[in-house]
C-alpha cells in the first residue's frame, strides 16, 4: 500500500505539517511558538494550575514545559506564583497580555488556514468535523488520554 493511500499516514503527515506551519506563522506574526500557544490555551481553559498539570495535558516533560513557561513569563504572558499551601509548587496563570495573545493567535491561524478550508464544500467540512470527532473520541476512550477536554471547547 502506498503511503498516500493510508489514512493513518495522511493524518500524521498533515498533523506534522500543520504544527510546523502553525509554529512558523505564530513566531513570525506574534513572537510565540505553537508549543507556547498550546500552553496558553490550557491556562485559558484551566487557570491557576501547576506546571505538572500542563505537562500531563500536553504529553510533554515538565522540563520542556518549564522552559516554555519561563519564556512566556519573561514576555509577560503569564505569571508563576508560589502555591501558599506548598511552597515548592508554582501555580501559573495568564496575564491580560497572555489572554490577548491567545485571541490574536486564533484569529491569525484561522485567517492563515481559511484558504485551505475554502477548498472544501460545506458538506465536506461537516463530514470532516464529524469524522475527526469520532476518531478523537475513539482515541481518547481507548488510550485513556485525559487531555481531550482542553481541545473540545
State the pLDDT at residue 51: 87
| 148 pLDDT tier (thresholds 50, 70, 90) | very low
| 116 pLDDT tier (thresholds 50, 70, 90) | very high
Q: Is the pLDDT of residue 152 over 70?
A: no
Question: Has residue 39 been placed in a domain?
Answer: yes
Regarding pTM above 0.85, the answer is no
Domain count, the chain: 1
Question: Has residue 89 been placed in a domain?
Answer: yes
Which residue is listed with cell 506548598?
A: 86
Question: Has residue 103 been placed in a domain?
Answer: yes
Which domain covers residue 78, as residue numbers?
A: 35-119
Question: Has residue 111 been placed in a domain?
Answer: yes
In the chain, % of residues over pLDDT 70: 91
Write the CATH number for 41. Answer: 1.10.10.10
79 has which bridge partners?
93
Question: Has residue 139 been placed in a domain?
Answer: no
Question: Has residue 101 been placed in a domain?
Answer: yes
Q: Nearest 10 degrees: CA dihedral of 145, 99, 106, 50?
A: -20
Sign of the torsion angle spanned by Cα atoms 19, 80, 78, 40: positive
> Mean pLDDT, the chain, as a whole number?
88
Determine the average pLDDT of the residues in 23-41.
95
| 146 pLDDT tier (thresholds 50, 70, 90) | low
pLDDT digits (tens, 9 = 90+) for 37-86: 999 999 999 988 888 899 999 989 988 998 999 999 999 999 988 877 77
Q: Sort 94 into a burial class: Cβ within 10 Å, 0-12 / 13-18 / 19+.
A: buried
Rounded CA gap, 140 and 57, in Å? 12
Amino acid at each position: 500500500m502506498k503511503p498516500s493511500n493510508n489514512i493513518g499516514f495522511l493524518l500524521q503527515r498533515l498533523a506534522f505539517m500543520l504544527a510546523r506551519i502553525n509554529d512558523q506563522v505564530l513566531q513570525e506574526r506574534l513572537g510565540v511558538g505553537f508549543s507556547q500557544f498550546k500552553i496558553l490555551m490550557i491556562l485559558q481553559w484551566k487557570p491557576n494550575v501547576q506546571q505538572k498539570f500542563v505537562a500531563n495535558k500536553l504529553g510533554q516533560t515538565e522540563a520542556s514545559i518549564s522552559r516554555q513557561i519561563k519564556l512566556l513569563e519573561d514576555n509577560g504572558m503569564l505569571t508563576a506564583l508560589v502555591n501558599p499551601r506548598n511552597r515548592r509548587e508554582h501555580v501559573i496563570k495568564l496575564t491580560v497580555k497572555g489572554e490577548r495573545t491567545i485571541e490574536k493567535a486564533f484569529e491569525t491561524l484561522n485567517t492563515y488556514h481559511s484558504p485551505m478550508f475554502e477548498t472544501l464544500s460545506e458538506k465536506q467540512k461537516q463530514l470532516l468535523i464529524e469524522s475527526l470527532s469520532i476518531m478523537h473520541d475513539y482515541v481518547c476512550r481507548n488510550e485513556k488520554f485525559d487531555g481531550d477536554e482542553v481541545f473540545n471547547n
